[in-house]
Chains A and B, each alone.
Chain A
Amino acid sequence: MKFDQPATTNPIDQLKVVGKPTDRIEGPLKVSGAAPYAYERRDVAPSPAYGCVIGATIGKGKIQSMDLGPARRAPGVITIVTAQNAGPVGKGAFNTAKLIGGPDIDHYHQAIAVVVAETFEQARAAAQLVRVNYVRTAGEFDLSKAKDGAKAPKQLTGGPPDSALGDFDGAFAAAAVKVDSTYTTPDHAHAMMEPHATIAAWKGDELTLWTSNQMIDWGRGEIAKILGMPKTKVRLISPFIGGGFGGKLFIRADAVLAALGARAAGRPVKIALQRPLMINNTTHRPATIQRVRLGATRDGKITAIGHESWSGDLPGGKPDGAVHQTRMLYAADNRMTATRLAVLDLPEANAMRAPGEATGHMALEVAIDELAEGLGMDPVELRIRNDTQVVPDAAGAPPKPFSQRQLVECLRTGAERFGWARRNPQPGQARDGRWLVGMGVAAAYRGAPTMKSAARVRLNGRGLVIVETDMTDIGTGTYTIIAQTAAEMMGVPLASVRVSLGDSDYPVSAGSGGQWGAASSTAGVFAACMKLRQAVAEKLGFDPDKAVFADGRVSAGRKAAPLADAARDGELVGEDAIEFGDLSKRYQHATFGAHFVEVGIDPYTAEVRVRRMLAVCAAGRILNPKAARNQVIGAMTMGVGSALMEELVVDKGQGFFVNHDLASYEVPVHADIPHQEVIFLDETDPTTSPMKAKGVGELGICGVSAAVANAIYNAAGVRVREYPITLDKLLAGMPAVA
Chain B
Amino acid sequence: MRAFSYERARDPQAAVAAMARTPDAKFIAGGTNLLDLMKLEIERPGRLIDVNGLGFDKIEATADGGLRIGALVRNTDLAADERVRRDYGVLSRALVAGASGQLRNKATTAGNLLQRTRCPYFYDPGQPCNKRQPGSGCGALQGFSRQLAVIGGSEACIATHPSDMAVAMRVLDASVETLNPEGKARRIPIAEFHRLPGDKPQIDTTLGRGELITAVTLPRPIGGVQVYRKVRDRASYAFALVSVAAVVQRDGSGRVAFGGVAHKPWRVEAAEPAMASGAKAVVDRAFAGAKPRHDNAFKLLLAERTLAAAMAEARA
Contacts and interface: CB of A to CB of B under 8 A. Distances in A.
A604 interface: yes
B288 interface: no
Contact of B231 (A607, A660, A661): A607
Interface string B86-106: 000000000000000000000
Given A124-B39, A672-B234, A727-B233, A738 B312 contact: yes
Interface string A724-738: 101110011010011
B43 interface: no
Interface in B12-62: 39-41
Given A124-B39, A737-B305, A737-B308, A666 B231 contact: no
A659 interface: yes
Contacts of A609: 235
Nearest to A55: B126
Contacts of B235: 607, 609, 669, 671-672
A664 interface: yes
B306 A732 contact: no
Interface in B75-122: 118, 120-121
Interface in A643-661: 644-645, 649, 651, 653-654, 658-661
Interface stretch (B137-145, B163-171, B203-211): B137-145
B120 A731 contact: no
Given A727-B231, A732-B301, A651 B238 contact: no
A728 B1 contact: no
B124 A276 contact: yes
B233 A726 contact: yes
Nearest to B310: A604
A124 B1 CA distance: 7
B298 to A, nearest CB: 4
B233 A125 contact: no
Given A276-B123, A738-B278, A738-B312, A731 B305 contact: yes
A128 interface: yes
A607 B309 CA distance: 12
A451 B143 CA distance: 44
B302 interface: yes
Interface in B235-278: 235-239, 241, 278
Contacts of B124: 276, 658, 660
B127 interface: yes
A121 B120 contact: no
A55 B279 CA distance: 47
Contact of B237 (A602, A644, A658, A669): A669
B120 A604 contact: no
Interface residues of B, number: 39
B3 interface: yes
Contacts of A421: none
Mostly, the B contact residues are: loop
B2 interface: yes
Contacts of A669: 234-237
Contacts of B237: 669, 671
Contact of A658 (B143, B236, B306): B143
B312 A664 contact: no
A660 B146 CA distance: 15
A651 B234 contact: no
Given A651-B144, A669-B234, A728 B298 contact: yes
B252 to A, nearest CB: 12
Nearest to A434: B312
A663 interface: yes
Contact of B233 (A124, A602, A645): A645
Given A57-B126, A124-B39, A659-B120, A645 B306 contact: no
Interface in A19-57: 55, 57
Contacts of A124: 1, 39
Given A651-B144, A663-B118, A728-B298, A605 B233 contact: no
A1 B56 CA distance: 73
B170 to A, nearest CB: 21
B6 to A, nearest CB: 13
Candidate in B41, B118, B125, B233 with the most chain A CB atoms within 10 angstroms: B233
Contacts of B308: 604, 737-738
Given A125-B1, A602-B309, A737-B308, A731 B298 contact: yes
A661 B123 contact: yes
A268 to B, nearest CB: 23
Contacts of B143: 651, 653-654, 658
B41 A666 contact: no
B51 to A, nearest CB: 23
A603 to B, nearest CB: 9
B14 to A, nearest CB: 28
Contact of A654 (B3, B125, B139, B229): B139
Contacts, number: 108
A670 interface: yes
Interface in A124-144: 124-125, 128
Nearest to A127: B41
A668 interface: yes
Mostly, the A contact residues are: loop
Contacts of A109: 126
Contact of A645 (B120, B146, B234): B234
A574 B3 CA distance: 56
Contacts of B298: 727-728, 731
Contacts of A671: 234-237
Contacts of B2: 125, 128
Candidate in A604, A607, A645, A669 with the most chain B CB atoms within 10 angstroms: A604
Contacts of A55: 126
B238 to A, nearest CB: 6
Contacts of A644: 233-234
Interface string B190-234: 000000000000000000000000000000000000000101011
Contacts of B309: 602, 604-605, 737
A664 B233 contact: no
Nearest to A108: B126
Contacts of A726: 233
Nearest to A653: B142
Nearest to B238: A666
Interface string A47-85: 000000001010000000000000000010000000000
A728 B298 CA distance: 6
Contacts of A672: 234-236
Nearest to B126: A57
Given A125-B2, A664-B118, A732-B301, A604 B306 contact: yes
Interface string A148-173: 00000000000000000000000000
Contacts of A734: 305
A724 B146 CA distance: 14
A128 B125 CA distance: 10
Contacts of A108: 126
Contact of B302 (A125, A659, A663, A727): A727
B305 A604 contact: yes
A363 B78 CA distance: 47
A63 to B, nearest CB: 14
A727 B234 CA distance: 10
A733 to B, nearest CB: 11
Interface of A: 55, 57, 75, 108-109, 121, 124-125, 128, 276, 602, 604-607, 609, 644-645, 649, 651, 653-654, 658-661, 663-664, 666-672, 724, 726-728, 731-732, 734, 737-738
18 contacts: A57-B126, A57-B127, A121-B3, A124-B1, A125-B1, A602-B309, A604-B305, A604-B308, A605-B302, A645-B234, A669-B235, A671-B234, A671-B236, A672-B236, A727-B241, A727-B302, A737-B305, A738-B308
Given A651-B139, A654-B139, A659-B120, 11 more contacts: A57-B127, A75-B3, A602-B309, A644-B233, A660-B124, A671-B236, A672-B234, A728-B241, A737-B279, A737-B309, A738-B312
A-B pairs with lowest CB-CB distance, top 8: A57-B126, A604-B309, A671-B235, A728-B298, A671-B236, A651-B143, A658-B144, A737-B308
